[in-house]
Amino acid sequence: GAGVSQSPSNKVTEKGKDVELRCDPISGHTALYWYRQSLGQGLEFLIYFQGNSAPDKSGLPSDRFSAERTGGSVSTLTIQRTQQEDSAVYLCASSQPSVNEQFFGPGTRLTVL
Amino acid sequence: QKEVEQNSGPLSVPEGAIASLNCTYSDRGSQSFFWYRQYSGKSPELIMSIYSNGDKEDGRFTAQLNKASQYVSLLIRDSQPSDSATYLCAVTGGNQFYFGTGTSLTVIP
């Protein structure tokens, strides 16, 4: 089946604007993760969804960041009032409930001017 | 102390040699261990998972886990230039999933 998809692949925005990033996980995968990767850096955990449970938001860097997952499938990561330090690749991954192997989407490269 | 530590490298090996990548972790309760490969400009790709002590082989790749010493390693036999990438170690216990910062590997033709 299809892998994890993310859109847009690239997003250029001006400082202070809001952006929405979308993730469509692999069908049947109940767990969904958002990460951020800055140039040359490791993966920074942002948020984790598992089924209908309350999400683990412990990695969100500020209250400008929020995410939701509708119907246990598609997820949207919203960044309000973007700052230049928000520039990074935002990666989404999904996994099956009983197996922790995560499969990543291609990412969204966000550039804040 | 970071949850997962890797030598950032770069690690260079000649084509055909064995590349050895190492990772240590701090949480003794960790249950699952993964190696991801990330090519420049691409997203991470799962290449190995290991859950119990010992070795697990898949083609040219062997993952080794030692829970008592809290380390996991990845051996790549007969290294090829196409193996040149950053290798990320990931460790999980429950809901928490921790990635190392990755080791950059270059295989020299």
- Put simply, the answer to whether B88 touches A45 (Cβ < 8 Å) is no
Which residues in chain B have Cβ-Cβ distances shorter than 8 Å to A41? 101
Mutation site, B46, B97, B98, B103, interface A, largest A CB count within 10 A: B97
pLDDT per residue as tens, chain A (113 positions)? 589 999 999 999 999 999 999 999 999 899 999 999 998 788 999 999 988 888 999 899 999 999 999 887 999 999 999 999 999 999 999 998 777 789 999 999 999 99
> Which among A18, A32, A13 has a CA at the least distance from the CA of A71?
A32
Q: Which amino acid is at A28?
A: G
Cα distance between residue B3 and residue B109, in whole Å:
35
How far does CA B41 lie from the centroid of its chain? 19
Kindly give, in sequence order, each residue whose CB lies less than 8 Å from that of residue A64, ignoring residues fewer than 6 positions away.
A79, A80, A81, A82, A83
**A74-84 core/surface letters (b: 16 or more CB in 10 A; e: else):** ebebebeebee
Check CB contact under 8 Å for B34 and A102.
yes
